[in-house]
Amino acid sequence: MPSQKLSADTAKKLGESALGPKGLVERVRRDYSLELDTCGATWYVRGNNKELVEMGVDALDHLANDTKSTAVKSLGPYGSVVWSFRDKDAKHIVHLFKAELEEIRMIKSVQVSVTPDDFNPMHLEVKCDQNEYELVKKTMHKMQTRVATVVTGSVRVQTREKPLAKEFEKRPDDGQVYSRLIFGKEIIFFGKIFAQVQAAMAQWESFREQGMEKLTAQLPKRNHSRVLPIPILNLLRRLRGGIKPIIERVRNDFLLDVDYNEEEEQFKLMGDNLDVVQMAYDVLCSKVSAPDAKVVCSKALGTRGTVIWAFKDNQARHFKHLFLEERKMLHQVQGTFVRFSPNEANPLSVEIKCEQVSYDVVNSIMQHVDNDIKLCKSRSINLEVEEQGAATKFEKRLDDGRFYCRILFSGKEMTFFGRNDAMATSGITEWEEFKRRERIRQQQEEQERKNQEENMRKEQQKKDEQMRREQEKREKEFAKRAREQERKLKEEEQKRIKQEQMRLLKQKKSVENKRVEILGAVKEDPEETTSADPGQATAPEKTPPGCPVCHEAFTEIIATSKRLLRTRCDHIMCQPCAAAAVAQQGGCPVCRKSIAAEDLTFVTLFTNLIEQAPQV
């Protein structure tokens, strides 16, 4: 089984993708009908066909890098193979290889799609199943090879021949040659072999001659003519390139006939429209700076049989804002275009272009425009600083064709333009009315703003008052809870003190009873009071155990609610004496061993402890 490994970078990116290794394996199996081996550090793509495996590796590379494949042949979804052709290749295959496409369409699993249509295909896609790949590949490879060898031929097309070229272009294809008109200037023929292209070019010449005869018969006769003076003709001959480029320009751009006789030194312009003939005459005279040239600044001949009217600066703005009806009429004339430069919002120039066929209609409109545009009036007023904002809004108002205004001199002056003085003055009147309305609107907005601020202030006061009351309520509740807690603590403290007093009282009584019992037992045993030596004096009575420093009895210390502490050296003393010994750093008062605060421990006095406590 053919296999090919993926690059380490591609495998790493695919492994880190959202699909993960398991998802990639399922996708490769579902879409490409291939197997992806992800075991180990190296990934392999396996399949039954080597070319399909290579295309699968290429598809995974593009998937990892998030790019689109530009190859003609690639793998499609659900186990399909796709051939994709664009632009010229798509046109060549659709028009020159119809038989091959029909042969491919006969295969059941093959789908052929052309976008946007069969006449002007921009994208051709052939899709087949992988089971039919070997069968389709032979035909597609043959077409790809022959598309690269398509030959071309071109023929220059004059302006008056353009309709014939468009008609010739739309003729049904024979699968051998097809033609396309490029930019309206030349027709290009495409074919499999050059002999077929030459035959198509000969057909075009025959078709053009027949069409031009019919077209010439339908056109009116050239009733208007103008002959160039011999001195001007001699100057034109001396120009670079000679007289031939001039004749071609007159025929192709001005759509005029030229009767030129070099021996008789005659150059005759002939046309259907006297104005066009006169403008062509003036253009030729202006090329050599002849004194009798009358070039109209606003009107001139353009290329490819067009006439152009042009206005600049203020006249361009007048045409935009004050001649709305005339602009609508021009838009309704077929083949007429109005273009503002650099943009329509702030035009510095305007160009009106029409074809010579529509010249009479457009010229009648433009004569009226040309006469009225020179009679436009203007009125200026001074602007105050506080009026500049309103003036900017008024300047951007929608045009109604009566007047328009401009703010000049850095906002210090506003100028109104109209087709007559009354319209310009009406602009000033509307400006005053606009200022009044704007002033009223500003006052209303200011009053609304003040009312809104007052309402906000009152609402804020209400909120503050409500917050203050809530804060006072919370403080009262907190004080109440604090007093209640303090009362409970006092009760608990008093209860604890009473319990401690009762405990001490019981302890005191117990010690006292024990002492009484001890003293009673001593009195009852007379032998312990006599000495071993009959002549020795009676021993003094034994003193009760107590603090070795202050000599206060332990029972009296406990009765006064004091605590007893035991030192590290196992001596017991009262808490005040132990604290004084630690503070003086003199050591234990009994044995003088060093002691610290952490060496002291509290003890509970029992009878046996008192009896066993060391004495001084």
556 CB neighbour count, 10 Å cutoff: 14
Single-letter amino acid, residue 54: E
Q: Which of 605, 520, 518 is nearest to 556 (CA)?
A: 605
Domain harbouring 291, CATH code: 3.30.1370
List, in order, residues 6 or more apart from 602 with CB less than 8 Å away.
563, 564, 565, 566
| 214-241 tens-digit pLDDT | 765 555 556 777 888 888 788 888 888 7
- Percent of the chain exceeding pLDDT 90 equals 7
561 with 596, same domain: the answer is: yes
Cα distance between residue 139 and residue 76, in whole Å: 19
CATH of the domain at 599: 3.30.40.10
pTM of the predicted structure, to 2 decimals: 0.45
What's the pLDDT at 470?
A: 93
pLDDT mean over 311-335? 86
Query: By mean pLDDT, which of 140-149, 273-282, 283-292, 461-470 is the weakest?
Result: 283-292
Domain annotation covers residue 82: no
pLDDT at residue 529, rounded to an integer: 43
Q: Is residue 47 part of a domain?
A: yes
Last residue of a domain, one of 17, 44, 69: 69
Last residue of a domain, one of 218, 245, 266: 218
Residue 516 resides in a domain: no
| Per-residue pLDDT, 532 | 41
**pLDDT exceeds cutoff 80 at 82:** yes
**Structure confidence at residue 278 (pLDDT):** 85
pLDDT, mean over the chain? 80
* pLDDT of 467: 93
Name which residue leads in pLDDT, 364 or 9.
364
500 is a domain residue:
no
Which residues contact residue 34 at a Cβ distance below 8 angstroms, ignoring those fewer than 6 apart?
A: 28, 45, 46, 47, 52, 53, 56
Q: What is the mean pLDDT of residues 195-210?
A: 87
Give the count of domains, the chain: 4
Summarised one tens digit per residue, pLDDT across range 278-309 is 888 888 888 777 555 454 457 888 888 888 88
- List the 413-418 sheet strands across, edge first: 377-382, 413-418, 403-408
Whether the per-residue pLDDT at 606 is higher than 70: the answer is: no
- Report yes or no on 334 lying in a domain: no
The pLDDT score that the predictor gives to residue 218 is 55
Closest residue by Cα to residue 127 from 172, 81, 173, 168: 81
* Whether the predicted pLDDT of 604 surpasses 70: no
Flag whether 172 is in a domain.
yes
Residue 605 lies in a domain: yes
**Predicted local confidence at residue 35, as pLDDT:** 77
Is 441 part of a structural domain of the chain? no
Q: What share of the chain is helix, strand, coil (3-state, %, to 5)?
A: 50, 20, 30
**pLDDT at 20 (0 to 100):** 76
pLDDT at 45 over 60: yes
Looking at the fold, whether 1 and 59 belong to one and the same domain comes out as: yes
* Nearest-10 Cα torsion for 227, 231, 232, 238: 130
Mean pLDDT is lowest, of 112-116, 173-177, 532-536, for: 532-536
Of 543 and 454, the structure prediction assigns the larger pLDDT to 454
**Top-confidence residue, 382 or 345:** 382
Same domain, 7 and 58: yes
Tell me what percent of the residues of the chain surpass a pLDDT of 70.
90
Domain span holding position 241: 224-295
pLDDT at position 474, please?
92
Domain holding 197: CATH number?
3.30.70
pLDDT digits (tens, 9 = 90+) for 531-555: 444 444 444 445 667 888 888 888 7
Q: Among 53, 69, 85, give the residue marking a domain's end.
A: 69
241 with 283, same domain?
yes
